[in-house]
Amino acid sequence: MDIATIAALVMLIGTVFFLIIGTPISISVGISSFLAMLMILPFSGAVVTSSQRIFVGLDSFALLAIPFFILAGNIMNSGGIALRLINLSKIVSGCFPGSLAQTNTVANMLFGSISGSGVASAAAVGGIMSPIQKKENYDPKFSAAVNIASAPTGMLIPPSNTLIVYATVAGSVSVSALFMAGYVPGILWGVGVMIVAGFIAKRRGYIHKNTMEFKEIFRVLLDSIPSLSLIFIVIGGILGGIFTATEASAIAVVYSLFLSFCYKNLSVKQLPKIFLDTAKMSAIVIFMLATSSIMSWVMAFTQIPSIIANSLLSITDNPIFILLIINIVLLFVGTFMDPTPAVLIFTPIFLPICMNLGMDPVHFGILLVFNLSLGTITPPVGPILFTGCKVANIEIEDVVKMLLPFFLIIFIILMLATYIPSISMFVPKLMGLV
């Protein structure tokens, strides 16, 4: 057994061991990667190389967008923006069966597209909608399931921190192209949830419809314009070449802060806690990026991606089956690993394979994030699943069964997005981004 193989085994076994004993993912990856590097280099060389890789992994202007978008999402969560988007959603979804559940879905899509966080959407929108649906005699399990199933749409509909992380790891992949590619799959996910929610609502007799007079509709539309404007400012500015994704994230912070103060839902006293929460969340992501860059070096040296690619091709050379296997692996990984570390670890493994099959890196990025987003609502780790249950004050085991039909429709949309490239690539091609 050569040194490269031994190093790869040390890294793999070490990572699994540290995860089993409860070590945080970032530390598990960092320690196991360093131990593997010791199999290849002397101690001093391993220390120097690890330090260099950490610096190189974080030396990216695009990564500044992550803490800014996290901060913008936290400000929106406290600033009354979610409530105005929910009111707007009532106009859009009031004519469908189970209008309150449909409102929840549309609001998650809108708020998620602005905040870029599925967890923030589940907490903000679910926290407002759950009591309202309970008053209308909606089953709390059904309400929670709809909220949980629709919250991850914000991880695909831009701006998305996960897509920014992927663009950084993948190399020369345009953030703008990824943002545009996420629109159709993200909207299809939301529409799929609405269809299932509508069938269940009709069967259960949740036929309440939201009826607003024209004067009230006009007032709600007028009130929601400033919040919706953030989408056009951020995405329009990026596409128009006015500013980069990183600069757009800073603008999102300033605009959401200004808007929240104007709405009088945010006070200066709340800002220290918001900044602290943002710092904690950002530190987790950034530290994970730093340690994973060591793992990337070890992977490249030991040729793990090539080994896995050859193993897959030895099973089958049919692109349909290879993509199916990749989807299954990513779905499995997403059930116990957060999206950010999963993107960092599996992008260098699966991206070369998919590119050899003729898949565009932008298309693969959407496939990857779609799979991992689905993992956020599945046990045992799913952060959105836990958040949605906590907001609704129900047990996880009570809502999982209710989620099954939503899982089915989302999986069907995933397969369509996998095997029909135009679902992801149509908009970026139309915009001339790819």
C-alpha–C-alpha distance, residues 368 and 44, integer Å? 36
CA distances from 94 to 87, 151, 198, 392 (A): 10, 19, 12, 22
Asked if 165 and 290 touch (Cβ cutoff 8 Å), the reply is: no
From the number of C-beta atoms within 10 Å of its C-beta (0-12, 13-18, 19+), residue 224 rates as buried
CA distances from 80 to 87, 93, 152, 248, 349 (A): 11, 20, 21, 21, 42
What is the reported pLDDT for 144? 92
Residue with tokens 């990564």: 63
Which segments of the chain have a pLDDT < 70?
Answer: 1, 92-96, 207-213, 380-381
Nearest to 186 by CA among 141, 145, 151: 151
The answer for residues whose C-beta is within 8 angstroms of residue 372's C-beta and 6 or more apart is: 162, 330, 333, 334, 337, 339, 342, 343
What is the reported pLDDT for 41? 87
CA distances from 106 to 191, 194, 197, 399 (A): 9, 8, 12, 20
What is the reported pLDDT for 333? 83
Residue 317: alpha-carbon gap to chain centroid? 31
C-alpha–C-alpha distance, residues 98 and 65, integer Å? 37
- Model pLDDT for residues 224-283, shown as the tens digit of each residue: 888 878 878 888 888 777 888 788 888 988 988 998 888 888 888 889 998 998 888 888
Asked if 278 and 12 touch (Cβ cutoff 8 Å), the reply is: no
C-alpha–C-alpha distance, residues 434 and 422, integer Å? 12
- Model pLDDT for residues 341-386, shown as the tens digit of each residue: 888 888 888 998 898 889 999 999 999 999 999 988 987 667 888 8
Q: Which two tokens stand for residue 149?
A: 């199933």
What is the reported pLDDT for 191? 93
What is the reported pLDDT for 210? 56
Nearest to 386 by CA among 132, 151, 185: 151
Q: Which two tokens stand for residue 56?
A: 């190189």
Give backbone dihedrals phi and psi of 394, rounded to 5 degrees, phi first: -130, 165
What is the reported pLDDT for 155? 87
